[in-house]
Structure 1
């Protein structure tokens, strides 16, 4: 378990809605006076998770995991903001010397990469810049990376927060907000499954709500820029249909109500406090009934 980080004394907490430029570590420590809820937190409050899991992970942040390094490193190069990337010129990382070097790099907040991984993420970023749509969406001349939005929910009065990968310059035209994801596949069918599995439809609705609440635009669009982590690092840009966003907003509303209740009662329930009666998966029961008939 990683050491639990605390809010630094030199940093002021936020008590007003707005768009803020802050370091990633401060955002994840929760910069809002009295506490706030993020999109990822909202997803942890609902099944298949529960409030008890949300509170545990909030109070006990997990240590960095190696399998996230490629995604984080690619984000750094695509967005131009994030932790330093350090190439460790050793293919084997199981010696004491290299282990110590890797640990020192992580302790400094940087990302250690093998030579092949270092080249991989640079090739991924180069593919993004050359892509007709993705390159324009992340154009450094027309936006800012990693901007934090803070606003208050009307019905529950819960403070909400979001951290945009990229916030385009606000103009008179349509505001198109891109979010960069790395994945094992850029196939649209695979992306649809991933959007559901990880609750990205909730993220899209959450971020659009934040942009609208802060008056960043009325004609808003949210796009996922999905890139395969395997060569040739293919890219697919997707926009969710209205039905997906509507379902996301309904799930988010449920999460906000659950969060407000948990804060008010200081009770963060588990999946169930009772004895649950469960069935086999529907497809198993259906197969059994068909065979028995």
Structure 2
């Protein structure tokens, strides 16, 4: 892959191709050996075909064509413990062609989440604004020269905004999720990719967060940006991870032993 902006790169080609991504840096941050492990370890096909609510919500909001191609809604009022139900499901399953099955209740929930997002005026603008969903950016990271890549959920080109859609089971814990899942590192890395391609940093990076759990009868929707301190910490971590990645590649050595400490309560005498 050459540095550039790719609108039509498939998800499989992106994840299976060259360049280091943020999710790979997350693995390397824990232990460098996890990066080559992730490329070679077998995947459980049954687990891959199980419903991923986050992906279904992402698809129905940002890639409705993919939602229709990847998901199928099962028969309604067709219990599998009845002859008629078994026949209905057998006929339905014969047409799946690899699509993930949604029950009517799961489909209803995903539709409600979609409508909840569109009920929020600023979230609706982010979803409906002209832009590229799932475009890929490749660039040579400025300090190491290593090929890096990112795939923003949406690039609202005309306004210089990057948007990332997140689902959460508990909206009140999202601030902790930022740290746990290193979303501050994602902010820094994606912003660098944007700047490398466009010649200037994005005007903004916003997280559109939707809850998959009901609160007062609704699925909450919030919009967040990170403050300057969080962005700086994310940038420092991102650059340190890139330096580690560069060193591992240069030496072709991927350390794998992690050091554990006892928890604070266990160290008390």
Q: TM-score, normalised by structure 1?
A: 0.78
Equivalent-residue separation in structure 1 for 2:72 and 2:199 (angstroms): 36
User: In structure 2, what is the equivalent of residue 24 of structure 1?
Assistant: 11
- Note the alpha carbon deviations across 1:46-101, whole angstroms, 9 max, x for none: 12xx11112111223634446662111111111025352201226669x9986997
For the 8 Å contact 2:171–2:211, the answer to whether it is kept is: yes
Partner residue of 1:53? 34
Q: Deviations over 1:28-63 (max 9, x none)?
A: 111xxxx3100111111012xx11112111223634
Root-mean-square deviation over aligned CA pairs: 2.7
1:207-286 superposed matches below 5 A: 207-215=190-198, 217-218=200-201, 220-231=203-214, 232-272=218-258, 279-285=261-267
Out of 126, 137, 151, the position equivalent to 2:126 is 137
Deviates more, 1:66-75 or 1:232-241: 66-75
Partner residue in 1 for 2:185 = 202
1:115 aligns with 2:87: no
- Aligned residue for 2:3, secondary structure, equals coil
Query: Which deviates further from its counterpart, 50-59 or 160-169?
Result: 50-59
Greater helix fraction, Structure 1 or Structure 2: 2
Cα distance in 2 between the residues matched to 1:100 and 1:201: 47
Aligned residues: 255
Aligned residue number for residue 181 of structure 1: 166
Q: 2:56 aligns with which of 59, 70, 73?
A: 73
What are the superposed Cα offsets for residues 102-160 of structure 1, whole Å, 9 maximum, x if unpaired? Answer: 6984x63x322111111111111111112111111111x42121111111112211011
CA distance in 2, matches of 1:218, 1:202: 15
Q: Are the aligned partners of 1:129 and 1:135 in contact in 2 as well (CA < 8 Å)?
A: yes
Matched residues in 1 for 2:222 and 2:90: separation?
36
Judge conservation of contact 1:180–1:225 (CA < 8 Å) in 2: yes
Instruction: Give 5+ residue unaligned stretches, structure 1.
Output: 1-13
